[in-house]
């Protein structure tokens, strides 16, 4: 069973029915908070064959958008429920049909929905339990106002899979590993990603593959804290990522550019 | 019937800086963090790449028909228009300032000139974070002012920045422009030449080219690769205001469109045009 499915089931209870079967969505609670859990999981029967191994494809992008927007509309006059994205996505499918049918737009739909929910006041929390790669992570996770990740060797955050990056850049996997030692932004491990300051918390000492009840409880506590802090910090954008001590050190150029732009913006 | 002779200037023959200047009202171009400030990428030299003094993105304030605008032009000739930490922060930061102004009742029309292969792999996760911040800023901004994206060519618009184009209020393309998530060469490399022959220009343009994208409603306006015509089209888009429903929010429409695809049959560009004909389908 995929990690995404394992953690979805552990947090949401049962695996719900729904279309497409690759997008899991269920309402439950985290502490006192009403929460909608969302995950993209492998579906060997998927209508589009290039998205059968957990890739975030055409149907997945639009279905995530539908599920997130449903919650936004239902909660318009009510407390905004939390949205918890359980992230274990190996990337997006590479295919002719996918490009023809507007895969970029399907991913934009998911980005749009999560960002819209966050801006409307829903606490959006991403929980990275496995791979968080490429456009798939942009669409399912990166628009969260809190990102949590399990500290585990199987957790990876990167722009492209190592295999594909090696092919595109015509370097060997060994070369890429060497570069990653010098340039942490190119590394795959979650500890390197944490150095960039965008993680709210790295959760240590949890069995990511086969969590027991205690592991699940620890993650629930971390989620509850993340939802609480997202709800109460008065900001619905992503500016917190640049305010962290890690970002001050490792995203110095991002901060300098913004300072300079603000100085020069108005004559 | 004769037309007055007018020398035609192709937008695609211009650099990013020239493109931005050519679109803005004459004499109003003012660059922010210009090349003489030398705010370069701090990550490239380590990896044997010569950095550019503007990191491949031009931020220009100026006017469009007398109204305040900001043009964000990606230079496709530098590292394939790849978005790194500095170039990404220039785009995100400018959009954030436009948002601040819009929220205080002072609209500034943002125009993105998208010639980019997506995230610059040498800067990897720093580019990923910047692109997510660009996405956030577009979604927040476009409820106040229309965010206009232009994909003119020759690089095209791919990866995380194609997602950004998908979020724009209006997308303008030329026939030369291409818009897709994974570029044709990447699809060929990852899925094989039988999946997509990236050297087959006709096939590529019939799949992700401007004419196809506009015909199927995935982009809004097809325009000739001519500075004056593109400048006019950008002004019309800014003037058109905020759409009733942004394309990336049209979930029901696109789920219905996908449901109409018979996955047991091959489908190509011309076939899709018939299937996704705006006139024939219910919204």
Give the Cα separation of B99 and B95 in Å (integer).
Answer: 6
Give the pLDDT band of residue A78 (cuts 50, 70, 90): confident
Length of chain B, in residues: 283
Q: Which residues are CB-contacts of B194 (< 8 A; sequence separation ≥ 6)? A: none
Residues from chain B contacting residue A188 (CB–CB below 8 Å) = none
Per DSSP, what are the bridge partners of residue A132? A89, A157
Spatial distance between the Cα atoms of A259 and A242, rounded to a whole number of angstroms? 12
Q: Cα A162–A168–A169 angle (5° rounding)?
A: 85
Mean pLDDT of B38-66: 96
Is the overall model pTM greater than 0.90, yes or no? yes
For the cut 90, the answer to whether the pLDDT of residue B6 exceeds it is no
A162 contacts in B (CB within 8 Å)?
Answer: none
pLDDT value of position A169: 84
Give the residue among B90, B8, B97, B22 at the shortest CA–CA distance from B56: B90
User: Between chains, do B125 and A196 touch, taking CB under 8 Å as contact?
Assistant: yes
**pLDDT reported for residue A182:** 87
Domain boundaries, chain A: 3-236
Check: CB of residue A196 under 8 Å from CB of residue B125: yes
Q: Quick one: tokens of A209? A: 């593959």
β B148-151/B109-113 pair status: parallel
As a whole number of angstroms, the distance between CA B40 and CA B59 comes to 14
Cα angle A196-A60-A158, degrees, rounded to a multiple of 5: 20
State the smallest CA–CA distance between residue B230 and chain A in angstroms. 23
- The pair of three-digit structure tokens given for residue B182, joined into one six-digit string: 């994974």
Residues in chain B closer than 8 A to A107 (CB atoms)? 163, 166, 181
Structure tokens at B64: 């469009």
Dihedral angle, C-alpha B155, B201, B160, A263, nearest 10 °: 20
- The residue ranges of every structural domain in chain B are 11-179+219-248
Q: How many CB atoms lie within 10 A of CB A65?
A: 27
Task: Note the ipTM here.
Answer: 0.98
Number of other CB atoms surrounding residue B203 within 10 Å: 17
| Chain-centre distance for alpha carbon A234 | 22
pLDDT(B2) > 90: no
Q: Has residue A68 got a pLDDT over 90? A: yes
Mean pLDDT of B11-37: 97
pLDDT band at B172 (very low <50, low <70, confident <90, very high): very high
- Topology annotation, domain B11-179+219-248: 2-enoyl-CoA Hydratase; Chain A, domain 1 (3.90.226)
Alpha-carbon distance values, B61 to A141, A254, B67, B162 (Å): 33, 20, 11, 23
Interface of A with B in 232-251 (CB under 8 A): 237-238, 241, 251
Query: With pLDDT > 70 as the criterion, what percentage of chain B qualifies?
Result: 95
For B218-231, what is the mean pLDDT?
A: 97
Question: What's the mean pLDDT in B75-95?
Answer: 98
Of A75-79, A191-195, A219-223, B27-31, the poorest mean pLDDT is in A75-79
CA-CA distance, B18 to B11, in Å (whole number)? 9
Instruction: Encode pLDDT of A98-109 as tens digits.
Output: 999 999 999 999
Scanning every residue of chain B, which has its alpha carbon at the shortest distance from the alpha carbon of A198?
A: B129
Whole-number mean pLDDT of chain B?
Answer: 95
**Does the pLDDT at position A117 exceed 60?**
yes
Q: How far apart are CA B232 and CA B234, in angstroms?
A: 5
Residue B280 has pLDDT above 60, yes or no: no
Confidence of residue B281 (pLDDT cuts 50, 70, 90): low
Question: A229 — phi, psi (to 5°)?
Answer: -70, -35
CA-based diameter of chain B, in Å? 60
pLDDT, one tens digit per residue, over A214-239 is: 999 999 999 999 999 999 998 999 99
| DSSP secondary structure letters along A177-240 | HHHHHH-GGG--BHHHHHTTT--SEEEPS--SSS--HHHHHHHHHHHHHHHHHHHHSS--SSTH
Across the interface, whether the CB atoms of B180 and A99 are under 8 A apart is answered yes
Q: Does A213 reach chain B within 8 Å, measured CB to CB?
A: no
Query: What is the predicted pLDDT for the residue at B199?
Result: 96
pLDDT in tens, A179-192: 999 899 999 999 99
**Band of pLDDT at residue B279, cut at 50, 70 and 90:** low
What local confidence, expressed as pLDDT, does residue A163 receive? 87
Residue B1 in this model has a pLDDT that exceeds 70: no
Tell the burial category of B238 from Cβ atoms under 10 Å away from its Cβ (0-12, 13-18, 19+): buried
Please write the tens of the pLDDT for every residue from B135-150: 999 999 999 999 999 9
Residue range A20-54, pLDDT digits in tens? 999 999 999 999 999 999 999 999 999 999 999 99
Which residues partner with A38 through β-bridges? A25, A85
The answer to whether A260 contacts B39, with C-beta atoms less than 8 Å apart, is yes
Residues 6+ apart with CB under 8 A from A213: none
Q: Looking at per-residue confidence, does A171 or A61 come out higher? A: A61
Q: Which of A253, A256, A259, A262 to mutate to test the interface with B (most CBs of B within 10 A)?
A: A253
| Averaged confidence pLDDT in chain A | 96
DSSP string, A46-114: -SSGGG-SS---HHHHHHHHHHHHHHHHHTTTSPPPEEEEEEEE------HHHHHTTHHHHHHHHHHHH
Q: Is A3-236 a CATH 3.30.460.10 domain?
A: no
The pLDDT assigned to B283 comes to 44
Average pLDDT over residues A74-85: 95
> What is the C-alpha separation between A23 and A64, in angstroms, rounded?
7
Nearest to A116 among B123, B131, B139 (CB): B139
- Residue B199, judged by CB atoms within 10 A of its CB (0-12, 13-18, 19+), counts as exposed
Residue for token pair 């086969």? A210
Q: Of B182, B28, B192, which is closest to residue B119 (Cα–Cα)?
A: B182
Of A102, A142, A185, the CB nearest to B123: A185
Structure tokens at A250: 């490792």
Three-class SS of chain B: CCCCCCCCCCHHHCCHHHHHHHHCCCCCCEEECCHHHCCCCCCCHHHCCCCCCCCCEEEEEEEECCEEEEEEEECCCCHHHCECHHHHHHHHHHHHHHHHHHHCCCCCEEEEECCECCECCCCHHHHHHHHHHHHHHHHHHCCCCCCEEEECCCCCECCHHHHHHHHCCEEEECCCCEECCCCHHHHHHHHCCCCCCCCCHHHHHHHHEHHHHHHCCCCCEECCCCHHHHHHHHHHHHHHCCCCCCHHHCHHHHHHHHHCCCCCCCCCHHHHHHHCCCCCCCC
Mean pLDDT (whole number) for B196-208: 97
Q: Specify the pairing of strand B67-74 against strand B57-64.
A: antiparallel
* Residue appearing with tokens 């092919």: A167
């Amino acid at each position: 069973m995929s990690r995404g499915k394992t953690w979805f089931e552990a947090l949401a209870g049962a695996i719900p029915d729904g279309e497409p079967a690759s997008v899991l969505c269920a309402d439950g609670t985290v502490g006192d908070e009403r929460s909608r859990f969302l995950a993209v999981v492998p579906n060997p029967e998927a209508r589009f064959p290039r998205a059968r191994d957990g890739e975030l494809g055409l149907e997945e992008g639009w279905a995530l958008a539908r599920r997130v927007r449903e919650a936004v509309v239902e909660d318009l006059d009510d407390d905004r429920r939390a949205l918890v994205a359980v992230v274990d996505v190996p990337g997006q499918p590479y295919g002719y049909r996918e490009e023809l049918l507007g895969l970029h737009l399907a991913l934009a739909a998911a980005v749009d929905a999560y960002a819209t929910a966050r801006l409307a006041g829903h606490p959006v929390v991403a929980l990275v339990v496995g791979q968080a790669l490429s456009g798939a992570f942009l669409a399912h996770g990166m628009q969260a106002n809190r990102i949590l990740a399990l500290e585990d060797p199987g957790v990876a955050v990167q722009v492209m899979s190592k295999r594909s990056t090696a092919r595109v850049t015509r370097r060997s996997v060994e070369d890429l590993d060497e570069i990653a030692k010098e340039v942490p932004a190119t590394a795959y491990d979650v500890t390197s990603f944490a150095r960039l300051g965008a993680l709210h918390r790295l959760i240590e000492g949890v069995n990511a593959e086969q969590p027991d009840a205690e592991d699940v409880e620890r993650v629930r506590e971390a989620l509850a804290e993340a939802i609480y802090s997202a709800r109460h910090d008065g900001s619905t954008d992503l500016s917190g990522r640049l305010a962290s001590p890690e970002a001050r050190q490792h995203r110095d150029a991002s901060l300098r550019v913004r300072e300079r732009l603000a100085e020069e913006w108005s004559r | 019937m004769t037309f007055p002779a007018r020398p035609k200037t192709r937008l695609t023959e211009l650099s990013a800086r020239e493109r931005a200047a050519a679109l803005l009202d004459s004499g109003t171009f003012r660059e922010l963090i210009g090349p003489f400030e030398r705010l370069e990428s701090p990550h490239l030299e380590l990896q044997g790449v010569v950095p550019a003094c503007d990191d491949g993105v031009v931020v220009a304030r100026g006017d469009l028909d007398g109204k305040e605008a900001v043009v964000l032009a990606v230079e496709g000739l530098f590292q394939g228009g790849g978005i790194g930490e500095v170039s990404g922060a220039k785009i995100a930061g400018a959009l954030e300032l436009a948002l601040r102004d819009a929220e205080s009742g002072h609209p500034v029309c943002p125009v993105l000139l998208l010639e980019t292969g997506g995230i610059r792999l040498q800067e990897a996760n720093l580019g990923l974070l910047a692109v997510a911040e660009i996405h956030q800023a577009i979604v927040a901004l476009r409820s106040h002012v229309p965010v206009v994206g232009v994909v003119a060519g020759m690089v095209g618009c791919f990866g995380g920045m194609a997602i950004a184009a998908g979020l724009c209020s209006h997308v303008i393309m030329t026939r030369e422009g291409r818009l897709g998530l994974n570029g044709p060469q990447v699809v060929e490399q990852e899925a094989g030449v039988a999946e997509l022959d990236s050297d087959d220009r006709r096939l590529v343009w019939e799949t992700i080219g401007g004419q196809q994208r506009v015909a199927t409603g995935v982009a809004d306006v097809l325009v000739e690769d001519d500075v004056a015509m593109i400048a006019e089209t950008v002004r019309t888009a800014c003037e058109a205001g905020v759409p009733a429903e942004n394309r990336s929010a049209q979930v029901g429409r696109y789920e219905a469109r996908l449901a109409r695809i018979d996955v047991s049959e091959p489908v190509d560009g011309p076939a899709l045009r018939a299937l996704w004909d705006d006139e024939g389908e219910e919204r």
